[in-house]
Amino acid sequence: MKYYDPRADILFKKIFGRNEDLTISFLNAMLPLEGDGLIKTIKYLQPEVLPIIPDLKDSIVDVLCVDINGRTFVVEMQMFWTSYFKQRILFNAAKMYVTQIERGENYDALMPVYGLNLVNDIFDNTSEDYYHYYTMCEPSNPDKTIDGIELFFFELPKFKPKTFSEKKMQVLWLKFLTEINEKTINVDPELLKSPEISKALDICTYLTQEELLGYDRYWDAISTAKTLASGKYNDGLEVGFAKGRAEGEKKGRADAMREMARTLKSLGKMTITEISEATGLSQEEITKI
Q: How do residues 236-258 score in pLDDT, each as one tens digit?
A: 444 444 454 445 445 556 776 77
Average pLDDT, the chain: 84
**Are the CB atoms for 2 and 182 separated by under 8 Å?**
yes
Q: Other C-beta atoms within 10 Å of 135: how many?
A: 14
What average pLDDT does range 187-196 have in this prediction?
A: 95
**Of 49, 72, 47, 80, nearest in space to 61 by CA:** 47
What average pLDDT does range 135-153 have in this prediction?
A: 92
Separation CA 226–CA 270 (nearest Å): 13
Q: Which residue has the higher pLDDT, 260 or 94?
A: 94
Q: For the chain, how big is the Rg over CA atoms in Å?
A: 21
Over 70: is that where the pLDDT of 46 sits? Answer: yes
Q: Which residue has the higher pLDDT, 226 or 174?
A: 174
Over 90: is that where the pLDDT of 156 sits? Answer: yes
Residues above pLDDT 90, as percent of the chain: 53
The pTM (predicted TM-score) of the whole model is 0.78
Q: Which amino acid is at 108?
A: D
pLDDT of residue 241: 44
pLDDT of residue 192: 96
What average pLDDT does range 44-60 have in this prediction?
A: 52
Tell me how far CA of residue 238 lies from CA of 233, 241, 244, 250, 254, in angstroms: 9, 5, 10, 11, 12
CA 42 to chain centre: 20
Separation CA 167–CA 126 (nearest Å): 24
**Antiparallel, parallel or unpaired: β 63-67 and 72-78:** antiparallel
**Are the CB atoms for 99 and 111 separated by under 8 Å?**
no
What average pLDDT does range 272-288 have in this prediction?
A: 79
Q: Which residue has the higher pLDDT, 169 or 247?
A: 169
Mean pLDDT is highest, among 50-54, 241-245, 261-265, for: 261-265
Separation CA 263–CA 16 (nearest Å): 25
Residue 80 — pLDDT band, cuts 50, 70, 90?
confident
**Are the CB atoms for 93 and 113 separated by under 8 Å?**
yes
Q: Which amino acid is at 147?
A: D
pLDDT of residue 55: 41
Separation CA 141–CA 76 (nearest Å): 30
**φ, ψ for residue 271 (rounded to 5)?**
-85, 170
pLDDT of residue 229: 62
Residues above pLDDT 70, as percent of the chain: 82
pLDDT of residue 269: 67
Q: What's the pLDDT tens digit per position in 9-28?
A: 999 999 999 999 999 999 99
